[in-house]
C-alpha cells in the first residue's frame, strides 16, 4: 500500500521525503533510520543555559547566555532551560535546535524598549520579536514551561497613543511579537504556555509544515492585539488541543496587508482541531487576505464567551480568493455572534443603498464554505452572511445548525443552501434574507 493522506503528514513532520508511490513499509524503514540517527545526534549535544552564564533569577538579563547556548546547539542539539525565571531580550532560534523549556521555567520578555531593535519584519519596519526563527528548519519548542512577553507596559503605551488621537497603525508605534517563524519549516511547538505578548503571540510568516499542539495561550481580556496564533501566508499547519483566552483573535489566518502592493501568497492547508477558546474574538479568517486563503478545516471547537465564533472577514482593499473551508462539530456558549461572514470589515453589513464597485486586484471572493453541526446558546446575533454587490458570497452550506439568539441571522448579497437549520430569536425574525440574496432551506 502506498503512503497517502494523514500518514504522509506524519512522515513530513519528521522531515522524511515521501516519494510518489512509496510503500508504507519502505517509508517506515526510512523514518526509523532517520529518527534513530536524529535522536542519537540530538541526545549527544545538550546546552544548558546556566552553563553559559544564565542566572534564572528574573532580575539579571540572561539574553546573551541563552543566545550562546542556542549557537552552541545550532545544527542539532537541545537547549535546556531549567526551573527559574530568565529575563531576556530578543533571541533567534537556529535550525536543528530543540528548546527544552522545562516545567517551572519561564522565559520573560524584557520591558526595556531599547532591547528590541528596529528591523524589517513582514516587509515593514517593526521591532525584533522576543523569540524568532528566520530561514530556519527542524525546530522544536517543548517541555512544559512558559514564554511570557511581559506585555503590560507595551499595552499601556498602545492605549495611550490610540486615546491621544495620533494613532495611525500598529507599525507607527510598534510592539514586538512573542514567537515568530519567518520563512521557516518543520516546526513543532507543544506542551508549553505562551502568554502576555506585547502584540501577536505566535506568528508563522511565509512558513510551512508547523505543529502547535497542547498549548495554553493567555492574555488579559482587554489587552490590545494579543492574538493567540496568526498564520500569515503560511501552509500545512496543525493547531491541535490549544486553549486560548486572549484580548483579540483566538486564531487569525492572514495572507497580506491592507492595500498590499503584492506579490502575496495564500495561507492554505490548515487544520484546527479539539480546541477551546474563551475570551477573544473567535476563529477568524482575515481580515488581511490579499494573498487569499483556502483548504482550512476546523473541527471539534468549543467557544465560551468570545465576541465571535466562526468569522470570515475582508474588504475591497485586502481580499483575494477565499474558499474551501469547513467548520464542523462546533459548540458555543454566550458568543455574541456565532457565524459572521462579511466582506465589509471592520463593519459587518452596509447601511442603506449599496453601490457596486469595479472588481480589482484586492476584491475579495468568498465561496465554498461548509458549516456543519453547530450548537450555540446565549448569542446576541445569530449571524451575518454578507457579500459585496460585485462579489457576492457564493456556495455557503449550513447543515444541522442550532442557534438561540436575541436577534436572527441576516443574509445579503449571498447564496446559501441550508439543511436542518433551526434559529430561534427573541425578536421573532429567525432569518432575514435580502432581495439580492438566495437562501434555500431544506427542513
> What is 387-416 written as a DSSP string?
-BTTB-EEEEEEEEEEEEEEEEEEEESEEE
Pairing of strands 293-304, 124-127: unpaired
CA distance 3 to 23: 6
Tell me the Ramachandran region of residue 10: left when phi exceeds 0, alpha when psi lies from -120 to 50, beta otherwise. Answer: alpha
Using DSSP's 3-state secondary structure scheme, residue 144 falls into strand
Reported as type and span, the H/E element at residue 159 is helix 152-164
- Answer whether residue 17 is part of any domain: yes
Mean pLDDT of 97-103: 98
Write down the pLDDT at residue 286.
97
CA distance 254 to 291: 8
Using DSSP's 3-state secondary structure scheme, residue 113 falls into helix
pLDDT > 80? residue 187: yes
Using DSSP's 3-state secondary structure scheme, residue 367 falls into strand
- What percent of the chain is modeled with pLDDT above 90? 83
pLDDT > 60? residue 41: no
- Answer whether residue 37 is part of any domain: yes
Structural domain span for residue 5 = 1-43
pLDDT > 70? residue 133: yes
Write down the pLDDT at residue 164.
58
Report angle CA 182, 185, 186 to the nearest 5 degrees. 140
The residues near 229 (Cβ < 8 Å, ≥ 6 apart) are 201, 202, 203, 212, 217, 239, 242, 244, 250, 251, 252
Write down the pLDDT at residue 414.
98
pLDDT > 60? residue 3: no
Question: Closest by alpha carbon to 320, among 236, 390, 394, 264?
Answer: 264
Average model confidence (pLDDT) across the chain: 91
pLDDT > 70? residue 297: yes
- Answer whether residue 28 is part of any domain: yes
- Answer whether residue 33 is part of any domain: yes
Q: Where are the alpha helices (DSSP H) in 165-284?
A: none
- Answer whether residue 152 is part of any domain: no
The residues near 78 (Cβ < 8 Å, ≥ 6 apart) are 42, 43, 45, 46, 47, 97, 98, 99, 100
Q: Render pLDDT for 345-402 as a digit per residue (tens, 0 to 9).
A: 999 998 888 899 999 999 999 999 999 999 999 999 999 999 999 999 999 999 999 9
More confident residue, 5 or 213: 213
Q: Across-strand partners of 326? A: 297, 370
Mean pLDDT of 101-105: 98
- Answer whether residue 59 is part of any domain: no
- Answer whether residue 21 is part of any domain: yes
Write down the pLDDT at residue 124.
85
- Answer whether residue 26 is part of any domain: yes
- How many other CB atoms are found less than 10 A from the CB of residue 79? 27
- Map grid coordinates 477551546 to a residue: 276
Q: Render pLDDT for 231-289 as a digit per residue (tens, 0 to 9).
A: 999 999 999 999 999 999 999 999 999 999 999 999 999 999 999 999 999 999 999 99
pLDDT > 80? residue 8: no
Phi and psi, residue 253, nearest 5°: -95, 120
Min mean pLDDT across 36-50, 91-105, 200-214 is at: 36-50
Question: Cell numbers at residue 51, please?
Answer: 552553563
Q: How many folded domains does the chain comprise?
A: 1
Amino acid at each position: 500500500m502506498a503512503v497517502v493522506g494523514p500518514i504522509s503528514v506524519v512522515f513530513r513532520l519528521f522531515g522524511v521525503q515521501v516519494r510518489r508511490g512509496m510503500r508504507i513499509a519502505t517509508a517506515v524503514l526510512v523514518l526509523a533510520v532517520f529518527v534513530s540517527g536524529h535522536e542519537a545526534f540530538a541526545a549527544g549535544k545538550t546546552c544548558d543555559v546556566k552553563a553559559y552564564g544564565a542566572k534564572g533569577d528574573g532580575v539579571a538579563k540572561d539574553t546573551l547566555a541563552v543566545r550562546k547556548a542556542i549557537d552552541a546547539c545550532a545544527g542539532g542539539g537541545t537547549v535546556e532551560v531549567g526551573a527559574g525565571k530568565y529575563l531576556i531580550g530578543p533571541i533567534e532560534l537556529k535550525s536543528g535546535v530543540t528548546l527544552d523549556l522545562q516545567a517551572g521555567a519561564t522565559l520573560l520578555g524584557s520591558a526595556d524598549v531599547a532591547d528590541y531593535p528596529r528591523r524589517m519584519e513582514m516587509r515593514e519596519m517593526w521591532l525584533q520579536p522576543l523569540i524568532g526563527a528566520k530561514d530556519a528548519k527542524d525546530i522544536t519548542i517543548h517541555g512544559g514551561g512558559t514564554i511570557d512577553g511581559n506585555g503590560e507596559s507595551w499595552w499601556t503605551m498602545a492605549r495611550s497613543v490610540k486615546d491621544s488621537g495620533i494613532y495611525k497603525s500598529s507599525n507607527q508605534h510598534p510592539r514586538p511579537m512573542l514567537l515568530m517563524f519567518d520563512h521557516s519549516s518543520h516546526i513543532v511547538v507543544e506542551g508549553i504556555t505562551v502568554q502576555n505578548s506585547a502584540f501577536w503571540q505566535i506568528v508563522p510568516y511565509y512558513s510551512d509544515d508547523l505543529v502547535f499542539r497542547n498549548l495554553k495561550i493567555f492574555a488579559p481580556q482587554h489587552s490590545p492585539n494579543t492574538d493567540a496564533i496568526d498564520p500569515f501566508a503560511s501552509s500545512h499547519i496543525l493547531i491541535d488541543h490549544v486553549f486560548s483566552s486572549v484580548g483579540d483573535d483566538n486564531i487569525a489566518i492572514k495572507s497580506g496587508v491592507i492595500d498590499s502592493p503584492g506579490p502575496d501568497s495564500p495561507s492554505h492547508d490548515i487544520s484546527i482541531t479539539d480546541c477551546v477558546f474563551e475570551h477573544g474574538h473567535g476563529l477568524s479568517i482575515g481580515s488581511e487576505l490579499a494573498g487569499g486563503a483556502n483548504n482550512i478545516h476546523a473541527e471539534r471547537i468549543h467557544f465560551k464567551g468570545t465576541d465571535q465564533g466562526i468569522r470570515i472577514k475582508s474588504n475591497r482593499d485586502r481580499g483575494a480568493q477565499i474558499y474551501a473551508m469547513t467548520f464542523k462539530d462546533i459548540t458555543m456558549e454566550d458568543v455574541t455572534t456565532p457565524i459572521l461572514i462579511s466582506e465589509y470589515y471592520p463593519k459587518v453589513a452596509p447601511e442603506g443603498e449599496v453601490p457596486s464597485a469595479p472588481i480589482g486586484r484586492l476584491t475579495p471572493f468568498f465561496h465554498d464554505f461548509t458549516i456543519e453541526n453547530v450548537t450555540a446558546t446565549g448569542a446576541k446575533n445569530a449571524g451575518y452572511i454578507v457579500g459585496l454587490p460585485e462579489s457576492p458570497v457564493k456556495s455557503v452550506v449550513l447543515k444541522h445548525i442550532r442557534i438561540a439568539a436575541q436577534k436572527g441571522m441576516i443574509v445579503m448579497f449571498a447564496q446559501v443552501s441550508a439543511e436542518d437549520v433551526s434559529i430561534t430569536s427573541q425578536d421573532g425574525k429567525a432569518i432575514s434574507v435580502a432581495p439580492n440574496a438566495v437562501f434555500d432551506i431544506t427542513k
